Amino acid sequence: MGLSIERLTVRLGQRTVLHDVAAELLPGRVTALLGPNGAGKSSLLRAMLALIPVESGRVLLDGSDMAALDARTRARRLGYLPQSAELAWNIPARSLVELGRAPHRSPFAGLGEADRAAIGRAMALTDTVRFAERLTHELSGGERARVLLARVLAGEPDWLLADEPLASLDPAHQLDMLGRLHGYAAEGHGVVVVLHDLSHAARIADDVMLLSEGRLVAFGAAEEVLRPELLEQVYGIGFERIGVHLIPTPPARVPHSPAGR
Amino acid sequence: MRRLPVLLVLGLIVLIGFVFSLTAGKVWVPLSAWGSGDPRWWIIVELRLPRALLGLAIGAVLGLSGAVLQGYLRNPLADPALIGVSSTAGLGAVAAILMGLGAAPLVLFGSAMAGAAAAVMLLALLVGRSGSALAFILAGTVLQSLAGSITAFLISIAPNPFATAEILGWMMGALTDRSLEDVVRALPFMAAGCAVLALTGRSLDLLSLGEETARSLGVRTGRLQAVIALGTGLAVGSAVAVSGVVGFVGLIVPHLVRPLVGQRPSDVLLPSALGGAALVLFADSLVRLAPGAEEVRLGIAMALLGTPFFFALLLRFRRSHAWA
């Protein structure tokens, strides 16, 4: 049971971005997707959501093929928090959170009792009730990130798939967001999150999928995968473990290369 | 909920505009003359009523389709002309006029609708099933300029000045001398198109989160695009077929409405339809009142009215977004 990825191969144009990736993800745990830029983390997430076509292999949710599911059914089970949140229109925060209920509402029905309750819960959980009536373009980055998380949580998905949810947040808001993701997993939901900061991964991940050049290099419990020698092999630089932190070595200054090189 | 009062007020303005359109003109027909034995009653039934009905319908079509396209493309500068339907419908009509069939209203109408249908099919062909808004806008722009150049070519080979004048006059857009038959012919297409477009509200709301997120929430973007192309083709195609190209309404009206009802795309649809109807009804009444023997063409009046408005909009946009 859970979310199983079976020998997934994905091509975008001429490039094969995922080769034969396989893993079994379990609910109630946070799974971090790690790897250098271009390793295929976002593609894996999007393939799991059936947003991009797969070349071969499949993704099963509790035994049923995701690609064969009706789009609305899929939307009720998997929530997607994308990397760059586009907000085309300046609507109140509450209206934005309401959008997350779409998969549960029949096309022309208004908000029902269950919808209102779910929206209220999601906003309470993300601490966004205070600015529910404020326009989204007027929110700070941290507030907006929480409203967008509330939008996903309002859909009450069994699985939350988040693509770099910490980008553009300050350290305090990063920890806050990590805590909320962890809390969602603690309620028994599955959480899959793409992260860049290895220390963040060490802090919240139960399991880690380590990707490199479209291949799954390692998959397992966080403490087994987040080993300096394995990370060095993938990222091409050394790491040192200090407490929960994984610090790149040498920790000296970044070498300064002349412009144009 | 501020929406309901806004809708009621807009509805009232449309009603006033409709009555004004029946009353105003070179000959003023007061309310007292209605329905009585007054000979001016004839003016109302034969001339003013079709014109007012068309103004109402065309305004609603342009306002609604403008709001849908702005919501779909997430671009405040979009308008129905942008996807090429108006130009191809215009091309169809021009071709009919050039072949000397301009006097047969049914042929003219059918030819313009065929032009609109061709645009919808070409859009589907060019964009495929990707459902990408960017591909849609590019294909529409290409169609628009293609239809524009073919139209220019047809004008250049017009056999005589009368045909040229007829084409140019038609292209400028007007509601003059339309009969009730014209109204009856166009109305079902406009109504069907509007009904199709009105179904898109929820999906447009979800698209404000971006195409991928909307898909992750169950929106089928390919199907949505087909629905919008079909709805616009029916509604705008038939509007152009009966009145020529009237610009700016679809562009302006959603912007007028948003400060009143907020920016959520689904909230903008119905108010835009009402606002468009009111705008065209009043503009068409005013062009009749302008001094001089010849009426100013509605399409020209709209552009004259629309351009300064649009500049003001850009200035406000620049101030609020500080991208200057």
Q: Using one digit for the tens of pLDDT, what is the confidence trace for A47-70?
A: 999 999 999 999 999 988 888 888
pLDDT of res. B43: 77
Distance of alpha carbon B62 from alpha carbon B247, whole angstroms: 9
**Sequence letter at residue A210:** L
Tokens of B272: 């835009």
Do the chains contact at B210 and A85, CB–CB below 8 Å? Answer: yes
Give domain status of residue A258, yes or no.
no
- Residue B316, pLDDT > 80, answer no
pLDDT band at A261 (very low <50, low <70, confident <90, very high): very low
pLDDT top residue among B176 and A194: A194
Q: A141-162, pLDDT tens digit by residue?
A: 889 999 999 999 999 999 999 9
Residues 6 or more apart in contact with residue A95 via CB below 8 angstroms: B262, B264
Q: Provide the shortest C-alpha distance from residue B227 to chain A (in Å).
A: 15
Of residues B302, B309, B22, B306, the one with CA closest to residue B173: B302
Which residues in B lie closer than 8 A to residue A152 (C-beta atoms)?
none
Residues 6 or more apart in contact with residue B65 via CB below 8 angstroms: B80, B193, B197, B231, B232, B235, B236, B250
Total domains in the fold of chain A: 1
- Residue B319, pLDDT > 80, answer no
State which H helix or E strand residue A75 sits in: helix A71-77
DSSP B265-287: HHHHHHHHHHHHHHHHHHHHHHH
Distance of alpha carbon B71 from alpha carbon B207, whole angstroms: 8
Of residues A31, B25, B93, A164, the one with CA closest to residue A21: A31
Distance of alpha carbon A109 from alpha carbon B266, whole angstroms: 13
pLDDT top residue among A236 and A27: A27
Residue B210 is nearest to which of A46, A82, A92, comparing CB atoms?
Answer: A82
- Residue A22, pLDDT > 90, answer yes
pLDDT band at A255 (very low <50, low <70, confident <90, very high): low
Give domain status of residue A170, yes or no.
yes
Q: What is the mean pLDDT of chain B?
A: 87
CA distances from B290 to B19, B43, B169, B308 (A): 18, 19, 18, 19
Q: B105-115, pLDDT tens digit by residue?
A: 888 889 999 99
Tokens of B13: 């303005």
Residue B217 is nearest to which of A85, A95, A102, comparing CB atoms?
Answer: A102
Nearest residue in chain B measured CA to CA from A93: B264
Answer for the pair B284, B277: CB distance below 8 angstroms, yes or no: no
Burial B73-102 (b: 16+ CB within 10 A, else e): bbebebbbbbbbbbbbbbbbbbbbbbeebb
Distance of alpha carbon B10 from alpha carbon B3, whole angstroms: 11
Residue ranges of chain A whose CB lies within 8 Å of a chain B CB: 46, 49, 51, 71-72, 74-76, 78-80, 82, 84-92, 95-96, 99-100, 102-103, 107-108, 151, 155
- Residue A31, pLDDT > 90, answer yes
Q: What is the mean pLDDT of residues A209-236?
A: 91
pLDDT of res. B324: 34
Q: What percent of chain A has pLDDT over 70?
A: 95
Nearest residue in chain B measured CA to CA from A148: B209
- Residue B323, pLDDT > 50, answer no
Q: What is the mean pLDDT of residues B177-204?
A: 92
Do the chains contact at A51 and B216, CB–CB below 8 Å? Answer: yes
Answer for the pair B93, B170: CB distance below 8 angstroms, yes or no: yes
**Which domain covers residue A8, as residue numbers?**
3-249
pLDDT band at B149 (very low <50, low <70, confident <90, very high): very high
Classified as helix, coil or strand, A6 is: strand
CA trace torsion B316, B317, B323, B324 (10° rounding): -40
Give domain status of residue A259, yes or no.
no
pLDDT of res. A110: 84
Answer for the pair A239, A231: CB distance below 8 angstroms, yes or no: yes
Nearest residue in chain A measured CA to CA from B259: A90
Q: B25-65, pLDDT tens digit by residue?
A: 877 877 777 766 777 777 777 888 999 999 999 999 999 99
CA distances from A219 to A4, A19, A25, A226, B215 (A): 13, 15, 10, 10, 29
What pairing do the DSSP bridges indicate for beta strands A78-81 and A245-249? unpaired
Distance of alpha carbon A104 from alpha carbon A114, whole angstroms: 9
pLDDT top residue among B292 and B201: B201
Residue count (chain A) = 261
Residue B218 is nearest to which of A85, A103, A151, comparing CB atoms?
Answer: A103
The predicted model scores a pTM of 0.89
pLDDT top residue among A7 and B125: A7
User: What distance, in Å, lies between the first and last C-alpha atoms of chain B?
Assistant: 35
pLDDT of res. B320: 66
Of residues B252, B250, B249, B247, the one with CA closest to residue B312: B252
Answer for the pair B71, B207: CB distance below 8 angstroms, yes or no: yes
Domain spans in chain B, listed from the N-terminal domain onward = 3-321
Do the chains contact at B216 and A80, CB–CB below 8 Å? Answer: yes
Q: What is the mean pLDDT of residues B6-12?
A: 95
| The 3-state secondary structure of B34-92, one letter per residue | CCCCCCCHHHHHHHHHHHHHHHHHHHHHHHHHHHHHHHHHCCCCCCHHHHCHHHHHHHH
State which H helix or E strand residue A232 sits in: helix A228-235
Do the chains contact at A99 and B265, CB–CB below 8 Å? Answer: no
Residue A91 is nearest to which of B199, B218, B264, comparing CB atoms?
Answer: B264
Tokens of B101: 């069939």
Residue B206 is nearest to which of A49, A76, A102, comparing CB atoms?
Answer: A102
Distance of alpha carbon A105 from alpha carbon A155, whole angstroms: 10
CATH number for the domain including A222? Answer: 3.40.50.300
pLDDT band at B169 (very low <50, low <70, confident <90, very high): confident
Which residues in B lie closer than 8 A to residue A86 (C-beta atoms)?
74, 208-210, 213
Residue B217 is nearest to which of A85, A96, A103, comparing CB atoms?
Answer: A103
What pairing do the DSSP bridges indicate for beta strands A159-163 and A190-194? parallel
Burial B185-199 (b: 16+ CB within 10 A, else e): bbeebbbebbebbeb
Which strands, in side-by-side order, build the sheet including A56-61? Answer: A15-25, A3-12, A56-61, A64-65
Give domain status of residue A260, yes or no.
no
State which H helix or E strand residue A19 sits in: strand A15-25
ipTM of the complex: 0.89
**Choosing among B130, B213, B224, B257, which should be mutated to test the A contact, i.e. which has the most A CBs within 10 A?**
B213
CATH architecture for segment(s) B3-321: Orthogonal Bundle (1.10)
Do the chains contact at A91 and B213, CB–CB below 8 Å? Answer: no
